[in-house]
Structure 1
């Protein structure tokens, strides 16, 4: 595989994981989303090393920016889906001085 092909394969892998993360968020599978975030981070870290070594043509840059646009759109949608859940959790913790009650509300009486 050429370095450019590998480079774009990395971007496409990030875009694929980003899409999986969005599906997990839409289905409220937050644990799956957390696992996918680790995979996403590893892929992004690997891409950082390859970024400086690749010289792209104008059409290749356009392809790269389209992949980045897709990744950022997925990220924005995930944030929109996660925000209400995070707001409810934050309200539970910051709206009360009784952490035990918060945990009971979250997990139910056992």
Structure 2
């Protein structure tokens, strides 16, 4: 039972961490998000590896499932915000390239 409580506490910690990542994404604080994301992923992988051979009681399994649903929702929201940011950056890059091409075209056409 003690290990079951530890598992649930660790999933709750991961959920809190995921929600923090989501706050950073909502605030556009991409540097903070990226700084935490690697550590978050490591903790998720470590927990998954450590509990793979553990048989949880039905109540703990049910609570774990609830937490996983919440974790997945937070991750999906972060992913959506990241995709939107990538789309914005791609648009800025396209506009910058177009401006550079126009600028170069005018420079080539100028009498020297």
Please give the TM-score of this superposition, normalised by the length of structure 2: 0.75
Match of residue 48 from structure 2? 48
Which secondary structure does the structure 2 equivalent of 1:35 belong to?
Answer: helix
Match of residue 105 from structure 2? none
1:9-24 aligned at under 5 Å gives the runs 9-24=9-24
Larger RCO (CA under 8 A, 6+ residues apart)? 2
RMSD, matched Cα: 2.4
Distance across 1 between alignment mates of 2:74 and 2:50: 23
Q: Which has the higher Rg, Structure 1 or Structure 2?
A: 2
How many residues are paired up? 100
Match of residue 69 from structure 1? 69
Structure 1: runs of 5 or more not aligned: 102-110
Match of residue 85 from structure 1? 85
User: Which is richer in helix?
Assistant: 2
Structure 2: runs of 5 or more not aligned: 102-112
Kindly report structure 1 stretches of 4+ aligned residues shifted beyond 6 Å.
Answer: none
